[in-house]
């Protein structure tokens, strides 16, 4: 079955075609993403109204491009999977309305997908992890630990109490005047920096070892940048020291969760999973305990539609479909 995935929950408009006959086993025929970084850069963050207006312009060309790259037409599709939340409601609506229009006019089954489920199942696009496995979802909007027990069965073990890790990267990059989005810039600078140059306190949530908190490191960086020593430190060293703190605060709870739940495989997913130091530290620490880390390639870590197609595919393969009456939900829960 060929499945068209559509994703527009935030600032990327994406479409993908996957081919699948069995839940969790799929070939990616194509994946196209229209990135809006250029548009939001001058504001130092995503402007929701601009994001949705641009989705209106790009979503159909993105779908056309992905079909062409997949070498198929609308008539070859067996179903459509579309993100219905969580996310920016205006952005979500563009993809969802587009999916509904296509489903109605082509007589196709359509399923609405939770964006987080997309990130949780993204590792299946390129790996064959045996369930249950642990998933650390780290993005601009989420930092959560889940046990992926089976398709549609996810148990949350931990979550951030305040900022998401990606948000902390982006906000600190903004404080340092590095540009947007900050995660990738900090990652690159940090490669040339001294991780021990400045000491950033690591935060823990008392009584909740599997939860995260990143607002403290952000405030610590803001305070440091106001001091003479902070202002004089090289950007490379500041980036490396900050990144090391965030990475340690992610690795600790993830390993603790894997140990407590007795899981051998840890899947690292979401935009921050692109971070080179996080991949390195988590893999090393997991290997020392006889565990394995799997992570999607960079293009399937950040928002994409192949993961949405994957997350919708097991339901479409079962013959399920959602009513065309489903709505976008900004705070949709898993
Ligand atoms: O999953 P994603 O594309 O969108 C959300 O659902 O949020 O994640 C975007 C986030 C941004 O905060 C961005 O700064 C961060 O992922 N990010 C990174 C890296 N690449 C992207 N953070 C740290 N290191 C990176 N290499
Ligand atoms: Zn995401």
Please state the rounded mean pLDDT for residues 109-126.
97
What percentage of residues in the chain have a pLDDT greater than 90? 93
> So what's the pLDDT on residue 84?
98
Please state the rounded mean pLDDT for residues 108-126.
97
Residue 146 in this model has a pLDDT that exceeds 90:
yes
37 pLDDT band (50/70/90 cuts)? confident
Please state the rounded mean pLDDT for residues 271-279.
96
* Any atom of ligand 1 within 6 Å of the Cβ of 123: no
- 7, 168, 272, 307: residue to mutate for ligand 1 pocket, most atoms within 8 A of CB: 272
Residue 44 in this model has a pLDDT that exceeds 90:
no
> So what's the pLDDT on residue 259?
97
Per-residue model confidence as pLDDT tens digits over 322-334 = 999 999 999 999 9
Closest ligand 1 atom to 181 CA: 14
Q: What is the mean pLDDT of the chain?
A: 96
> So what's the pLDDT on residue 216?
94
Per-residue model confidence as pLDDT tens digits over 10-31 = 999 999 999 999 999 999 999 9
Q: What fold characterizes domain 2-121+301-317?
A: Nucleotidyltransferase; domain 5 (3.30.420)
- 113, 119, 139: residue to mutate for ligand 1 pocket, most atoms within 8 A of CB: 139
Please state the rounded mean pLDDT for residues 119-138.
96
Interatomic CA distance for residues 33 and 221, integer angstroms: 33
* Domain segments of the chain as ranges: 2-121+301-317, 131-295
42 pLDDT band (50/70/90 cuts)? confident
Global pTM? 0.94
- 116, 164, 166, 246: residue to mutate for ligand 1 pocket, most atoms within 8 A of CB: 166
Per-residue model confidence as pLDDT tens digits over 201-239 = 998 899 999 999 999 999 999 999 999 989 899 999 999
Please state the rounded mean pLDDT for residues 104-133.
97
Please state the rounded mean pLDDT for residues 60-64.
98
Tell me the CATH number of domain 131-295, given options 3.30.420.40, 3.40.1390.10, 3.60.110.10, 1.10.579.10. 3.30.420.40
Please state the rounded mean pLDDT for residues 301-329.
97
Please state which of the ranges 44-53, 100-109, 209-218 shows the lowest mean pLDDT.
Answer: 44-53
45 pLDDT band (50/70/90 cuts)? confident
Asked, colleague to colleague, whether 2-121+301-317 and 131-295 share their fold, the answer is yes
> So what's the pLDDT on residue 121?
97
* Any atom of ligand 1 within 6 Å of the Cβ of 144: no
Per-residue model confidence as pLDDT tens digits over 242-265 = 999 999 999 999 999 999 999 999
- Residue 331 Cα to ligand 2 midpoint, Å, equals 13
* Any atom of ligand 1 within 6 Å of the Cβ of 166: yes
180 pLDDT band (50/70/90 cuts)? confident
Closest ligand 1 atom to 169 CA: 14
> So what's the pLDDT on residue 179?
87
- Residue 141 Cα to ligand 1 midpoint, Å, equals 9
181 pLDDT band (50/70/90 cuts)? confident
Please state which of the ranges 153-162, 175-184, 250-259 shows the lowest mean pLDDT.
Answer: 175-184
């Amino acid at each position: 079955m060929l499945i068209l995935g559509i994703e527009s929950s935030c600032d990327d408009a994406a479409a993908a075609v996957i081919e699948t006959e069995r839940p969790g086993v799929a070939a990616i025929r194509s994946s196209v993403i229209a990135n809006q970084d250029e548009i939001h850069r001058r504001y130092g963050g995503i402007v929701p109204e601009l994001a949705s207006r641009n989705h209106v312009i790009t979503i159909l060309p993105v779908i056309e491009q992905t079909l062409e790259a997949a070498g198929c037409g609308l008539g070859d599709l067996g179903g459509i999977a579309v993100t219905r939340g969580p996310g920016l409601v205006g952005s979500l609506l563009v993809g969802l309305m587009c999916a509904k229009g296509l489903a109605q006019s082509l007589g196709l089954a359509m399923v609405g997908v939770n964006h987080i489920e997309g990130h949780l199942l993204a590792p299946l696009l390129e790996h064959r992890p045996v369930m249950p496995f642990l998933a650390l979802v780290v993005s601009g909007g989420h930092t959560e630990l889940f046990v992926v027990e089976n398709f549609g069965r996810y148990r949350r073990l931990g979550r951030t109490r305040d900022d998401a890790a990606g948000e902390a990267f982006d906000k600190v990059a903004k404080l340092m005047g590095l540009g947007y989005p900050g995660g990738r810039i900090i990652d690159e600078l940090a490669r040339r920096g001294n991780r021990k140059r400045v000491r950033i306190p690591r935060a823990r949530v008392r009584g909740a070892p599997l939860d995260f908190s990143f607002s403290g490191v952000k405030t610590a960086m803001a305070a440091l940048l106001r001091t003479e020593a902070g202002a004089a430190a090289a950007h490379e060293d500041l980036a490396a020291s900050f990144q090391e703190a965030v990475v340690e605060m992610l690795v600790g709870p993830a390993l603790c969760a894997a140990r407590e739940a007795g899981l051998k495989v840890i899947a690292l997913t979401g935009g921050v999973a692109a971070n080179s130091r996080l991949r390195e530290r988590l893999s090393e620490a997991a290997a020392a305990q006889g565990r394995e880390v799997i992570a999607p390639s960079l293009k399937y870590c950040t928002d994409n539609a192949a993961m949405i197609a994957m997350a919708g595919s097991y339901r479409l393969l079962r013959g399920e479909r959602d009513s065309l009456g489903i709505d976008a939900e900004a705070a949709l829960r898993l």
